[in-house]
């Protein structure tokens, strides 16, 4: 009787998962995460779960959570080997959303998935995540790195982020106090942020070799990949000093679809076209895509990344506080009775 041949051993690394590389990445991440520590962190990177204690200064704390990704902007990060700022985008997309409820972001967790783990690339990405957290005053207290052979092409990865914030129950922003005559303030964006990149990529493809060398004083690629602006610290300062009725983070859907999310049904926002400057980047995108203003305003932020709605008598003071926090602020419109018109009218 013949015995079956002993199979050749196959390790987890042979199957495409490098545990040692994952361990090396964790060791590189730990000092980055330590730089984001803040009050409330009880246990962070390394455990099965991260522990966080809500600051005791809140009397009736309400937790606010948000999750998002970076989308197809990552395709350009792969193509152009620009990995160090997409982590900032990841943080910004979630913490800016949490902020519009009036909440202070407390902590953040990231999810990094790839087919084959490149430690240097992953470290650059997570370094951006840590930078975004530091700029937002929230702690990077955990995350997950998933190496999944066959799921992603070599050199590509995907990102997701999860933020939790806290707001005093009595200070939740819900838009119910908005009235006709209130002022709409627009806070300038840093560029395209992280929405509309499927169209951005189509424009780059259409332009081919005729891409501009520079836009808005920056090399073309830098202008396109400029990370999403983090509004947390400046807006929290304004909230602490003034009554703000509502905030809207201008993401996918642009001004046309995001402002209505915070308006009572009977009100509309009338925005004044030309009340804020148009960047060379957005002008190039519109010209290259050959689209009208309506399509631009529901695809891109068009230069306004956050909107604040305030009473007329405090508008100047709110704008001054935001400018003191290094925001560029424009009075871009006012609230009116809606009637039969659209929720956002740009004229």
- At 296, list the tokens: 């631009």
Q: What is the pLDDT of residue 2?
A: 55
pLDDT at 29: 80
Q: How far is Cα 138 from Cα 88, in angstroms, rounded to an integer?
A: 13
Give the closest residue to 40 by CA, choosing from 54, 59, 57: 54
Q: How far apart are CA 254 and CA 250, in angstroms?
A: 5
For residues 94 and 66, the answer to whether their CB atoms sit within 8 Å is yes
The SS3 of residue 95 is: helix
What letter would DSSP give residue 341? S
Q: Nearest-CA neighbor of 86 among 30, 126, 31?
A: 126
313: left (phi over 0), alpha (psi -120 to 50) or beta: alpha
What is the pLDDT at residue 243?
96
What is the pLDDT, as a whole number, of residue 7? 82
CA-closest candidate to residue 225, choices 234, 216, 237: 216
Sign of torsion, CA 302 308 311 312?
negative
Contact 164, 106 (CB under 8 A): yes
**Confidence at residue 90, expressed as pLDDT on a 0 to 100 scale:** 98
Position 306 scores a pLDDT of 98
Distance CA 111, CA 158 (A): 8
Three-state secondary structure call for residue 327 = coil
E strands of the chain, at which residues? 41-43, 51-52, 61-69, 104-114, 139-147, 157-168, 183-188, 214-215, 218-219, 246-249, 267-271, 304-310, 329-337, 344-346
What is the model's pLDDT at position 204?
A: 97
Low-confidence ranges of the chain (pLDDT < 50): none
Per-residue model confidence (pLDDT) at position 11: 66
């Amino acid at each position: 009787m013949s015995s079956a041949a002993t199979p050749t051993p196959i390790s987890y690394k042979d199957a495409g998962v490098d545990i040692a590389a994952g361990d090396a990445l964790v060791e590189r991440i730990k000092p980055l995460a330590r730089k984001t520590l803040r009050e409330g962190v009880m246990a962070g990177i390394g455990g099965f779960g991260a522990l966080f204690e809500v600051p005791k200064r809140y009397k009736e704390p309400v937790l606010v959570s948000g999750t998002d990704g970076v989308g197809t902007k990552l395709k350009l990060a792969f193509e152009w080997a620009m990995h160090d700022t997409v982590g900032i985008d990841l943080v910004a997309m979630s913490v800016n959303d949490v902020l519009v409820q009036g909440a202070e972001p407390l902590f953040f967790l990231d999810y990094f998935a790839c087919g084959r783990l490149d430690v240097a690339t992953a470290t650059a990405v997570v370094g951006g995540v840590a930078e975004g957290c530091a700029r937002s005053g929230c702690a990077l207290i955990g995350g997950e790195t998933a190496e999944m052979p066959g799921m992603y092409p070599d050199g590509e990865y995907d990102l997701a982020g999860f933020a939790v914030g806290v707001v005093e129950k009595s200070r939740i922003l819900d838009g119910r106090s908005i009235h006709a005559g209130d002022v709409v303030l627009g806070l300038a964006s840093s560029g395209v942020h992280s929405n509309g990149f499927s169209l951005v990529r189509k424009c780059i493809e259409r332009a081919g070799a005729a891409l501009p060398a520079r836009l808005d004083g920056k090399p073309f690629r830098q202008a396109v990949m400029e990370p999403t602006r983090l509004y947390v610290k400046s807006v929290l300062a304004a909230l602490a000093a003034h009554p703000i009725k509502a905030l809207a983070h201008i993401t996918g859907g642009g001004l046309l679809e995001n402002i209505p999310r915070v308006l009572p049904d009977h009100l509309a926002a009338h925005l004044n076209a030309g009340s804020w400057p148009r960047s060379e980047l957005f002008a190039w995108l519109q010209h290259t895509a050959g689209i009208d203003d309506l399509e631009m305003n529901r695809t891109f932020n068009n230069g306004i990344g956050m909107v604040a709605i305030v009473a007329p008598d405090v508008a100047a003071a709110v704008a001054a506080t935001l400018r003191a926090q290094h925001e560029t602020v424009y009075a871009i419109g006012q609230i009116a009775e809606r009637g039969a018109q659209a929720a956002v009218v740009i004229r």
